[in-house]
Chains A and B, each alone.
Chain A
Amino acid sequence: MLKTYLKRCIFCLALCFAVSSHAHNPPYLIISEIESGRLTFENEQIAAEYAAASKRLRIRRLEAMPWTKKIYVFIKAGFEHIIPDGLDHILFVLGLFFSSLKLRPLLIQVTAFTLAHSITLILAGLGLVKIQGSFVEPFIALSIVWIAVENTLFKKTTRWRSLVVFMFGLLHGLGFANLLSQYGLPKNNFISLLFAFNVGVEFGQLFVLLLAFIVAKTLFKNSWESGKIRVPASILIGCAGLHWLFQSLV
């Protein structure tokens, strides 16, 4: 044990003296070189260590918050994950919006999507399902392309549409879970915060739909009816989806 004392003491002494009133040449520089070798700087490693430390810091800060504040923070996080950060999810929801002129099928689809991504978010959040982000990303992009293609080619939505949307919802949930795990969830109140995050995501989604609805009803009342907006908008959404698809594959 004395060995480590020695090493330790060199440092603490040296540093104490280095900054105390009238400093002599700090002796620790030379000694520490010998004792511990040179430091090598590998940027990737330093960045990875920094990210891990940032996560620990966030969790510490979160754990120190009162319960209500934590809930608020996670609802906000879920919301921000859609607006403004989740452009891919926004486009997917808009894709659903452009698919149907009637409220009922839209509600069914949105509910299916919500149910599905809640299931996977919670399963992944609890650690029951583990899937790499790099695996999920291309599928999320593909889901956007698929919805856009459907919107463009078919006048009416297919019977299987709700099921397809449900499957895509499962994927999107995994995407949310990945980001949430990078972000870190405090261990106490785990479930309630996971739930709060999900609620935030729903709010974000509803907000997108509401906005789309208002815009459509006020600005494009006529062209909307004839599908003039529906097709070009879906093509744009599809292009964005394709772009992400290539990006995630490369």
Chain B
Amino acid sequence: MGLLIFASCQQNPKMNDNINPFFQEWNTQYQVPPFLQIKDEHYMPAFEKGMEENLAEIDSIVNNPEEPTFENTIEELERTGKLLTKVQRVFSNLAGSNTNPKLQELQRELSPMISAHYDKIALNEGLFLRVESIWNNRENFSLTDEQIKLLKDTRKQFIRSGALLDSNQKEEITKINSKISELSTQFGQNLLAETNGFELILDDDELDGLSDGVIAAASESAAQKMNEATSPEEKAKYENKYVFTPHRSSMYPFLTESTRRDLREILYKSYVMRGDNNNENDNKEIAVEIANLRAQKAEIMGYKTHAHFILEDNMLKSPEEVYDLLIKLWEPALKRAKSEVLDMQAVSDSEGNNFKIAAWDWWHYSEKVRKAKYDLDEAELKPYLSLDNVIKGVFNTTNKLWGLTFTEIFDIDLYHPDARIWKVTDKDGSHLGIFIGDYFTRSNKRGGAWMSSFKGQSNLDGRERPVVVNVCNFPAPVGDDPSLLSFENVTTLFHEFGHAMHGTLTNVTYPSMAGTSAPRDFVEFPSQVLEHWASEPEVLKSFATHYQTGEPMPDELIEKLLKASKFNQGFINTEYLAASLLDMDWHTITSDVVLEDANSFEASSLAKIGLIDEIAPRYRSTYFAHIFSGGYSSGYYSYIHAAVLDSDGFEAFIEAGDVFDETLSSKLRKHVYEKGSTEEAMDLYVKFRGRKPIIEPLLKVRGLDGKPD
């Protein structure tokens, strides 16, 4: 008994079900992947064939008897790997947003295969010789600026993979790379073991101050531990107990609510000592070794330090520029942090306590300050922020900025029924792209929020428009009520939508330069700048209407909301900047420096900038996974760099007196959102803003300008 058959408007691309869908033309609407036809077992054969085809294409470019030209080499390279890209896009998206054990296993299997594949291409000598010959003859070809940039970027990729080195050096680099990758993996595994290795097991009488929700979650994790326990003794350990761990989701609520200062100290220390316990999971030596190897590699590649090597590709081109930015921000941040300590000390003293605020007190007392000073109740905001209204709000914003319209499509089946799809149309009625929004949290989706694409943009062989996606983890609706967002969710939605616009408005010739393929310290600018519109009272009022009464958000609530955004900014920026500077310090050592101990290196780095005891860097070296096991070495500063750009960029609209100023919005579109990586990021910014970025607007936005809130 079911009535599931009716009202389903199935899309019926003419495809043969017996053939792997990746091996067929997708004559679906807008080339949206035929998700219903794609099964888990289709990926591996498609990856294998994709890599094989890709290598054959490369061979035919290398073996072309004609003289190397831009067209027969660089442009041909842009046409290679179509099948591989096709399957890779679908796979990497679904492995994040709609995964299962089979896909996770494939992910582990594929990851080394894919990186080996791209290494093969990057180390292809014949290919590099052709690229190099074109580079040397570039004056003789009449190339456009976009083509020159592509040539330069392509060549640089080969060089950065070691194409200019002699065979001894190449061998050395390969050795260093594999050693670093081994150590990085080890670093990550140690960190995981350390984070999972500590538990604060509490009794009923040790829960002072904790709210019901937090207690329930801790009791739940104790129950889970009991389930996993193998021996009766181990089971008994967790019976009727409450477990907290150094995972942030468990630790922050405890540090905020618990009135037991001694327990806060224990949990906090377990967090900051991860990887630094002189046990088998210790990361101190690994950090030192990785930093040393990176310095050696940089020297062989012809760079002064690892940071010089990394930053060459970025908007800020040298360690000096990065340090200059970070130090300029450091003083105001630290100053505010110190005044925050005073606020907290005052609260603590007024409670009759007789101690100096310590690092493990921060969350508890800052919450008290927040309540007293800002008094914003998130629950009051939510009824005004239903997901549908916020989506309408962001669509309207881009409509006012660039004249875009969004039309929801109902007859395309996606990979999950909660994913929604819209057609994006430009001001002149032309088709710009497809936007997919997958907003609700679910158990087979990874945490966090991100943007990605199922199809890229290119004008190389005809006009191809992209299919982009935003994935978030907002609460799903309960019962008949709509999904109601927190304001943080709203900024996340605008943020990811900014990335989506970068991926949708892009209008470049070559696929590898399209959309979000911009440098790391620039790519967050298009996303973060859009967040400013979300908190602009004029815009907020237009979309934040009560889901039951339709009333717009009251002015006093908006005012409170905006004021609260400055809460705790001293702490947030100080811990972040300290970590960024630590990252830079680790990666500006030259290969002849002998590093002895990670802790003393870190201590002297932090002492140099005068970090206060009440704050630890956002990541200490022994758990700084971004730089020692992720891809963020000398790149952790990127976030705040992009924040400087977005505050300064939005300030232009404020100065113009209209947040939808036509001249500015069209410049923003033309020079930022449309350009991908076809020009140097700084040039693009200057073309939009009329000058280089300055930090003052950011200081103002974050309340670091010394003015009262």
Contact = CB atoms under 8 A, between A and B. Distances in A.
Contacts of B520: 13
A199 B197 CA distance: 63
B576 to A, nearest CB: 6
A62 B7 CA distance: 8
A171 to B, nearest CB: 14
A64 B450 contact: no
B118 interface: yes
Nearest to A62: B7
Contacts of A107: none
Given A18-B92, A32-B446, A27 B631 contact: yes
A68 interface: no
B678 to A, nearest CB: 13
Given A20-B516, A34-B195, A49 B443 contact: yes
A29 B107 contact: yes
A231 interface: no
Nearest to A197: B3
Given A56-B477, A73-B7, A179-B2, A22 B157 contact: yes
A50 B419 CA distance: 11
B629 interface: yes
A24 B631 CA distance: 9
B444 A179 contact: no
A11 B114 contact: no
Contact of B417 (A19, A27, A37, A50): A50
Interface in A164-208: 179, 183, 187
A202 B496 CA distance: 49
Interface in A215-229: none
A2 B573 contact: yes
Contacts of A58: 7-8
B122 A1 contact: no
B448 A10 contact: yes
Interface residues of A, number: 67
B3 A20 contact: no
A120 B384 CA distance: 35
Interface in B1-16: 1-9
Contacts of B495: 5, 8
B5 A32 contact: no
Interface in B434-457: 440, 442-444, 446-453
B418 A4 contact: no
A26 B443 contact: no
B443 A40 contact: yes
A115 interface: no
Contacts of A13: 520, 523-524
A26 B572 contact: no
B223 interface: no
A61 B476 contact: no
Interface string B624-637: 01100111100000
B492 A12 contact: no
Given A4-B488, A10-B630, A56-B418, A39 B3 contact: no
A39 B6 contact: no
A126 B631 CA distance: 55
A50 B416 contact: yes
Most buried by A among B480, B524, B528: B524
A26 B184 CA distance: 13
Contact of B524 (A9, A32, A179): A9
A77 B7 contact: yes
B452 A22 contact: no
A7 interface: yes
Contacts, number: 196
Contacts of A31: 625-626, 629-630
Interface in B484-516: 488, 491-492, 495-496, 499, 511-512, 516
B115 A25 contact: yes
B335 interface: no
Given A15-B452, A56-B417, A80-B3, A25 B111 contact: yes
A132 interface: no
Given A12-B449, A34-B192, A41-B101, A179 B1 contact: yes
B476 A77 contact: no
Nearest to A12: B450
Contacts of A81: 3
Nearest to A49: B442
A14 B632 CA distance: 10
A103 interface: no
A157 interface: no
A50 B1 CA distance: 19
A6 to B, nearest CB: 6
Contacts of A33: 188, 192
B452 A19 contact: yes
A12 B488 contact: no
B259 interface: no
A128 B447 CA distance: 39
A52 interface: yes
Given A31-B626, A34-B625, 13 more contacts: A10-B630, A12-B450, A12-B499, A12-B527, A27-B629, A33-B192, A41-B100, A46-B443, A49-B476, A57-B417, A64-B408, A77-B3, A85-B3
8 contacts: A1-B565, A8-B495, A9-B639, A37-B447, A53-B476, A64-B410, A77-B3, A179-B2
Interface of B: 1-9, 85, 88-89, 92-93, 96, 99-101, 104, 107, 111, 114-115, 118, 121-122, 157, 181, 184-185, 188, 191-192, 195, 247-249, 408, 410, 416-418, 420, 440, 442-444, 446-453, 476-477, 480, 488, 491-492, 495-496, 499, 511-512, 516-517, 520, 523-524, 527-528, 565, 572-573, 576, 618, 625-626, 629-632, 638-639, 643
